Amino acid sequence: MNASLANPVAPSAVNVRELLSPRGVRFWLVEDYAVPLASLEFAFGGGAAQDPAGKAGAATLLAGLLDEGAGDLDSQAFQQALDEKAIEISFHAERDHIGGRMRTLKRHLDRAGELLRLALNAPRLDEAPFERVREQVNAQLRREANDPAAMAGRAWRARVFAGHPYGLPTQGSLESLAAIERDELTGLARRLIARGALHIGVVGAIDEKRAAALVDQAFADLPASGDLQAVAEAPFAGLAGVEIVDLDVPQSTIRFGRPAVPRQDPDHIASIVLAHVLGGGTGLSSRLFREVREKRGLAYSVSASISALDHASYLYGGTTTKNERAHESLAVIGGQILDMAHDGLSEDELEKGKKYLIGSYPLRFDTSAKVAGQLVEIQLEGHAPTWLVERNARIAAVTMADARRVAERLFGDGALSVVLVGRPEKV
Amino acid sequence: MKRLSSEFSLEPAAAPAAARSASGSGVVDFRLDNGLEVVVIPDRRAPVVTHMVWYRNGSADDPVGKSGIAHFLEHLMFKGTKAHPQGEFSLRIAEIGGQENAFTGADYTAYFQRVAKERLGEVMEFEADRMTGLALTDEVVAPERDVVLEERRMHCDADPSAQLSEAVQAALFTHHPYGAPIIGWGHEIERLTREDALAYYARFYTPENAILIVAGDAEPEEARRLAELHYGKIAPRGAAPDRRRPQEPEPVARRLVVVNDEKVEQPSWQRCYLAPSYRTAAPGEAEALDLLAHLLGGGQTSLLYRKLVLEEKRAVAVGAYYMGAALDETRFYLYAVPAPGVSLPDLDAAIDRVLNALIAEGVEAKALERAKTRLVADAIYAQDSQATLARWYGAALATGQTIRDVQEWPERIEAVGAESVLTAARKQLERRRGVTGFLLPADETAA
C-alpha cells in the first residue's frame, strides 16, 4: 500500500489521509477510536442525469433496489442480515451521482463488508422488489402531487432547464416510472456502478490496513470504468418571467433563481459569500430574512443559496407567503437582489458573512457519518484533502473589490426566473 | 429499500444513550444553587460544542383558550432583552459561524446553539440573559404573531395530511391538552397578546424549571465554572411550577377520523393509541413498547411490513413509532400507505388481523433478538453525535426521567422478555384505546 499522499490538518482537527488500497482503489480515511463504529460513504459519478430518455427515475429505482437482495440473499434475507447486526447500508440517487453509505458497529465490520460487496457486485434487482420499490416511489409522487413545495421545485426546474436532464425530476413521474423495465436497470447498473468515477470516505474505529481491505472487498472487483453519456452544459431559461401554477391554497410558494458562477471558476467562492449575505446561514440573519420576515412578517422562512452541479450553477431560493401579499415578497426579494447588484454589500456584511462561513465549517465534522459525507463531497467537487484547510483560507481572502465585482456578475440585471404555486393576488 | 418520508413531524424519540460519551469520560451532572440542572456530555472529536437550555414546559402547559402560547413565546425569545436588543444574539451567532434554533414540544421548549468550543461562555451569557431579561413591546409582538400564523398556514392549512394528524390527536386526547396542536389553533393564536406571553414566561422560565445541557468539546469543570458564572447569578424563584394537566380518562370508544380533500392523490392510513410513557409506565412496560414498535413496524423485517407489504401486497409502506418521552400518557403510532386499488377499510382490517395474530401467537424469539440488537445499537450510534445525545438527554430529563434512566436504558431493553412485549401489545393495542385516521381524496367515502 502506498504511503499517504497528503496529510493536512484541517481546522476542525480532522486528520485526513488519502490512500491507495493494494488493488488500486483510492480512498480517504480518518481514524477515530472514540466510538466503536465505522462509517463509509461513497459516490459513483453519473446519477439521475444518466436516466435513459423517457425513463426519468431510473437511477432512483436502481438506488432503491441495491439493498433489496444480492448474491444468494433475496430481499428479505438481505434485510434480515443487515438487521441482525444493526448494519446500515443504503443508496440514494442524486443528479450527478449515485451515493451510498454503510455504517456498522466495529465488531460487525467483517459482515458489513461482505454485505456491501454483495450489494455492489451482485445486486439481484428481482422482479418483486422492483415492483414494490417502484410503487413506493409512485406513492411518494402521488403524495407530493398537490404539495406546493414539491410542485414549485419541479415546475421551476422544468422551466429553467427545459430540454436538459436537470429539468426532469430525479424521482421521475408516474408516466416515466411506468415505462421503466427491470432489465434496463441492470444495464444502468453496469454503466454507473464502476470504479471510473468513484469517490470514497472511511471514518471511524478502523485502521489503514483494515480500511484498505474493506475498500478492496467492496469495490476492487467492479468494472474498471463505467459508460457515462455525455451531459451538456445546462441552459437557463425563463429569466424575467413569473410562472403561476394554480393551486387552491391560502399561501403562495415561491421559487426564484438565476444563473451563477460555475464551481470551477475562481469567482465561485466569492459568490458563495454573496449568496450567504443575501439569504444564507441559518436564515436568521440574512438580508432576505431581515426584510421579508423580520421587518414585514411576510413569511416564516426565506432563503437563497448557490446550487453547483456538474453542468449548471445557479442561485436558488424560496419563500412562502399568503396569497394576498405574495406580490410584496416578490418585490422585496427582487429589490434586495437588484440592490446587491448595484451597490454590492457593506464592509460589515462582507466581514460577518466570511466569519460565519469560516466559523461554521467545523460544524460539518462533528459525527463520523458527517465527516465521511464531507470527504466524499469534497472529492466530488474536485478538491484535494488540503481543501479542508484551503477552503477557509479562500473565503477569508475574498476582498471587497472581489465581492463588488462578483456581485455584478452574479446578480447582473437582477432578472429572476420565478415559479409560484398558489393563488397570488396582483402577480 | 425506498423509505417514504413520515407524513407527520415527530418529536425526538425517547431512546437515550449508553453510559459513556464519545470521549470516553462519563456524563457529568450537577445542580446550581438556584436549582438549574446542568448536564455535561464530553465529546472532544471536533472543536464544537452544543449548548442547550430546556424548559420543562410545552404546549400541553398552555392555559385554556390560549393554545400556542408556549410556541409563540419561543418565537418571542428571539426578540431581544434589555441587555441585548433584538437581533444582537442572532447576529453574534452568525458572526462566529454558529447555528442556533429552538423548538417547542408538547412537554418542553428548548433553545440551542452549536458553536466553536471557545464560544461556550459567550452563548451562555446570552442564553442566561434571556431567561429572565426578555423585553417585549406590542410593535414587536404583532408581526411575530403574523409569522406564526403564516407558519400555521404553511404547515397545516395547505396540507390535508397535517390536518388529519391534528384531527387524530384531538380525537385521541379528548381531555388532555396533548390533543391541541403545538402551534395552537388558528383562532386562538390570533388573540394571543404580549401580556399572555409575559405571564407564561414569568411562570415557566425560571432556573428551577430549566435544564442546561452542554455536549461536545467541553471540560466538565470548565463548563461548571462558566455555568456558575453566567447562570448562577439568576435569582431562584421558588420551586418549579407544578405541571398538572387534566388527565385523559380511560378510553372506551374506538374512533375513526376521516379527512377528504381534493389535494389528496395518495390515500394513507394511521392509527394512534393511548399508551403509558416512560414516566407513567410500570417498570419495563415502556421498554416493551419501544421493542413492540420496532417489531411491528421498524423496517423491512418487521411484522407489518412482512405481512402487508411483502406477503399480502396490501400496502407499499408501513411503520410504527412510540413516543415514550412524555410527561403523561402518550401516543403509540402505526401508519401505512395502501397499495393501488386497496381501500383503507380493507387495509384497516388487514392490520387488525396482523395485530390480533400477534397477540394470539406471541412474539417470535428471533424477531425480538433483532429488535433488541437494533435498539441497543442505536444507543451506540447515538454516541457518535453530540447533538443527538444532547437532545436525547434533554427530552428524557424534561419529561421526568433521570440521567440514570437514560444510561441504563440499553440494559433494560436487553432484559425485556417476550411475555412482557406480548402483555404490552395485549393491553395497549386494544381498538378502543385508539383513533384511526383515513386520508382520502375528495370523492371517496370511508365506507
Flag whether pLDDT at B3 surpasses 70: no
- pLDDT tens digit string along B112-134? 999 999 999 999 999 999 999 99
Q: Please, which pLDDT band fits residue B9 given cuts at 50, 70 and 90? A: very low
- pLDDT tens digit string along A181-190? 999 999 999 9
8 Å CB contact of B1 and A137: no
What was the pLDDT predicted at A283?
55
What was the pLDDT predicted at B153?
86
The whole-angstrom distance between B273's CA and the closest CA on chain A is: 24
Of A247, A356, A366, the CB nearest to B94: A356
Least confident of A106-110, A274-278, B262-266: B262-266
Q: Please, which pLDDT band fits residue A169 given cuts at 50, 70 and 90? A: very high
The whole-angstrom distance between A398's CA and the closest CA on chain B is: 16
- pLDDT tens digit string along B386-426? 999 999 999 999 999 999 999 999 999 999 999 999 999 99
The whole-angstrom distance between B182's CA and the closest CA on chain A is: 16
Grid cell digits, residue B8? 407527520
Mean pLDDT, rounded, for B22-38: 85
Q: Please, which pLDDT band fits residue B443 given cuts at 50, 70 and 90? A: confident
Residue A419 vs residues A162, A333, B120: alpha-carbon distances, Å:
14, 14, 42
- What's the CA gap between B218 and A252, in Å, rounded? 45
Residue of A300, A301, A324, A350 to mutate for B, most B C-beta atoms under 10 A = A300
H or E, element range at A308: strand A302-308
Report the chain B residue with the minimal C-alpha distance to residue A92: B2
A297: left (phi over 0), alpha (psi -120 to 50) or beta: left
Of A80, A84, A369, the CB nearest to B384: A369
Query: What is the length of chain A?
Result: 427
What was the pLDDT predicted at B21?
52
- pLDDT tens digit string along A363-401? 999 999 999 999 999 999 999 999 999 999 999 999 999
- What's the CA gap between B436 and A278, in Å, rounded? 45
Flag whether pLDDT at B12 surpasses 60: no
Q: Please, which pLDDT band fits residue A2 given cuts at 50, 70 and 90? A: very low
Type of residue found at A150: A
8 Å CB contact of B150 and A140: no
- What's the CA gap between A52 and A33, in Å, rounded? 44
Residues ≥6 apart with Cβ < 8 Å to B202 = none
8 Å CB contact of A76 and B301: yes
What was the pLDDT predicted at A282?
65
- pLDDT tens digit string along B315-372? 999 999 999 999 999 999 999 999 999 999 999 999 999 999 999 999 999 999 999 9
With H, G, I as helix, E, B as strand and everything else as coil, classify residue A237: coil
With H, G, I as helix, E, B as strand and everything else as coil, classify residue A374: helix
Report the chain B residue with the minimal C-alpha distance to residue A132: B316
The whole-angstrom distance between B274's CA and the closest CA on chain A is: 27
Nearest to B412 by CA among B280, B291, B274: B291
Report the chain A residue with the minimal C-alpha distance to residue B388: A367
What was the pLDDT predicted at B96?
87
- pLDDT tens digit string along A4-49? 222 223 444 468 999 999 999 999 999 999 899 999 999 999 999 9
Nearest to A277 by CA among A287, A269, A264: A287
8 Å CB contact of A136 and B317: yes
Nearest to B291 by CA among B427, B424, B428: B424
Grid cell digits, residue A270? 466569492
Burial B90-102 (b: 16+ CB within 10 A, else e): bebbbbbbbbbeb
Residues of chain A neighbouring B306 (CB-CB closer than 8 A)? 76
8 Å CB contact of B266 and A298: no
Active site residues of B: 74
Q: Of A265 and A359, which is predicted with more confidence?
A: A265
SS (H, E, C) B110-142: EEEEEEEHHHHHHHHHHHHHHHHCECCCHHHHH
Residues of chain B neighbouring A372 (CB-CB closer than 8 A)? none
For all residues of chain A together, what is the average pLDDT? 94
Residues of chain B neighbouring A248 (CB-CB closer than 8 A)? 262-263
> Which residues lie across from B81 on neighbouring strands?
B134
Flag whether pLDDT at B1 surpasses 50: no
The whole-angstrom distance between A133's CA and the closest CA on chain B is: 6
- pLDDT tens digit string along B182-238? 999 999 999 999 999 999 999 999 999 999 999 999 999 999 999 999 999 999 998
- Percent residues over pLDDT 90 in chain A: 90
8 Å CB contact of A133 and B1: yes
- pLDDT tens digit string along B140-185? 899 999 999 988 987 888 889 999 999 999 999 999 999 999 999 9
Flag whether pLDDT at B285 surpasses 90: yes
Least confident of A8-12, B26-30, B74-78: A8-12
Nearest to B393 by CA among B380, B410, B413, B407: B407
8 Å CB contact of B158 and A90: no
Residues of chain A neighbouring B100 (CB-CB closer than 8 A)? 282, 284
Report the chain A residue with the minimal C-alpha distance to residue B6: A140
- Percent residues over pLDDT 70 in chain A: 96
H or E, element range at B315: strand B315-322
- What's the CA gap between A170 and B278, in Å, rounded? 42
Q: Please, which pLDDT band fits residue A203 given cuts at 50, 70 and 90? A: very high
How much is the pTM? 0.90
Q: A52: how many CB neighbours lie within 10 A of its CB?
A: 16
Of A83, A142, A251, the CB nearest to B154: A251
8 Å CB contact of B1 and A64: yes
Of A35, A64, A80, the CB nearest to B380: A35
Kindly compute the dihedral angle of the four CA atoms of residues B441, B333, A63, A76, in this order, to the nearest 10 degrees: -120
Residue B298 vs residues A126, A130, B431: alpha-carbon distances, Å:
23, 21, 21
- What's the CA gap between A190 and A183, in Å, rounded? 11
Coarse DSSP helix, strand, coil percentages of chain A, rounded to the nearest 5 percent: 45, 20, 35
Grid cell digits, residue A162? 427545459
Contact criterion met (CB below 8 Å) for A234 and A161? yes
What was the pLDDT predicted at B2?
43
Q: Of A98 and B9, which is predicted with more confidence?
A: A98
